[in-house]
Structure 1
């Protein structure tokens, strides 16, 4: 009886591809190479190389949002020089840059505006996020009414009546649901 198909393939592959064992490498050559490299390094004057001093990192706390970062003293000094003696993190830096573009290049005003927004968020937003969101929505509505010139209530979606007496715009409905509700209530009282 013939062997199953899988055995035939394995046997034919084993006969055709007979590889010998790989040669054993000598560890003597490897050890000699390592010792030659260490000898060369010891001959060279390594002591002549002077590395620049590694400056220690410090924790710097953002004066806007309160986030801490590890920074070098040189970097802290550069940021303070740029932002009127205050150290602010990278995120707040970008926000202040945006504010500077908005207000026409007044860095001091932009920095104080951003610091006030962060302070308000830290006091209200972290403790009461829903209240903070409601406050933000209120501010958006105030801004939209100032830009529009009219109050928010002036934009009604109720239908208006033109000079001819026709209703214009608004949401039209086909019928009222009150008759259906009263009919159901009458049916309930009659059954009881």
Structure 2
């Protein structure tokens, strides 16, 4: 439904072969319809409670005007604020060793925990989550101390780390294929073929 009733139209009236433009529903009409619907739901709910006073309201829906409690939670890794319900905060704290982490950090910690558990034979469980959380918190803490103050230094260090990993001779690529090497130049062979073809 569009705000302020824009775009909401009533069903077109079908006349004697001619079409009329659909009428726009006013905001007042929408509010009246919502009020009528709320009244009908209240009546139905009160009838249900009279019929079954000890029912406990198992199938009861929350009221239209009932608001969900939202609180701001700060990620203990990166420091980002998120608005979430207390129930969500509780579930995240249970999963991540009593610490509240935002969605991005949670994804990074989960990926790191999976990597650690598969690397250790798959028996990590809570220990791998704790280790992954500690490692991610260390990276975030270092970034917050150094990276935010001097982003060029952080980028330079990242490039240095990439080059260091790439230059290690004990990598899996070196054992599998031996790298791409050329034993001799192909230019003399091409030149010979060209000279033979031109004669």
Q: TM-score by structure 2 length?
A: 0.50
Match of 1:80 in 2: 93
Deviation at 1:44, TM superposition (A): 6.5
Change (3 A) 1:148 1:43: closer
Q: What is aligned with 1:119? A: 141
- Give ranges in structure 2 of 5+ residues lacking alignment: 1-17, 21-28, 49-59, 118-123, 172-182, 186-199
Q: Kindly state the Cα deviation for residue 120 of structure 1 after the two structures are TM-superposed.
A: 1.2
- Superposition misfits of 4+ residues, deviation over 2 angstroms: 41-44, 46-55, 141-145
For residues 149 and 122 of structure 1, what CA distance do their matches in structure 2 show? 32
Deviation at 1:42, TM superposition (A): 7.0
Distance 1:85 1:44, change over 3 A: closer
CA distance in 2, matches of 1:149, 1:85: 39
Give runs of aligned pairs for residues 153-164 of structure 1, distance below 5 A: none
Establish whether residue 108 from structure 1 lines up as the match of residue 130 from structure 2: yes
> Would the alpha carbon gap of residues 67 and 149 (structure 1) be closer, same or farther in structure 2, given more than 3 Å must change?
same
Query: In the aligned structure 2, how far is the partner of 1:64 from the partner of 1:44?
Result: 46
1:174-185 paired onto structure 2 within 5 Å: none
CA 1:102–1:43: 2 relative to 1, 3 Å: closer
Give the one of 130, 136, 158 matched to 1:136: 158
The answer to whether structure 1 residue 90 and structure 2 residue 107 are counterparts is: no
Q: What is the root-mean-square deviation of aligned Cα atoms in Å? A: 3.8
Higher mean C-alpha deviation, range 110-119 or range 47-56: 47-56
- For 1:129 and 1:108, the matched residues in 2 are separated by 28
Task: Give how far 1:87 is off.
Answer: 0.4
Deviation at 1:101, TM superposition (A): 1.7
Q: TM-score, normalised by structure 1?
A: 0.52
The number of aligned residues is 123
Tell me what 1:182 maps to.
none
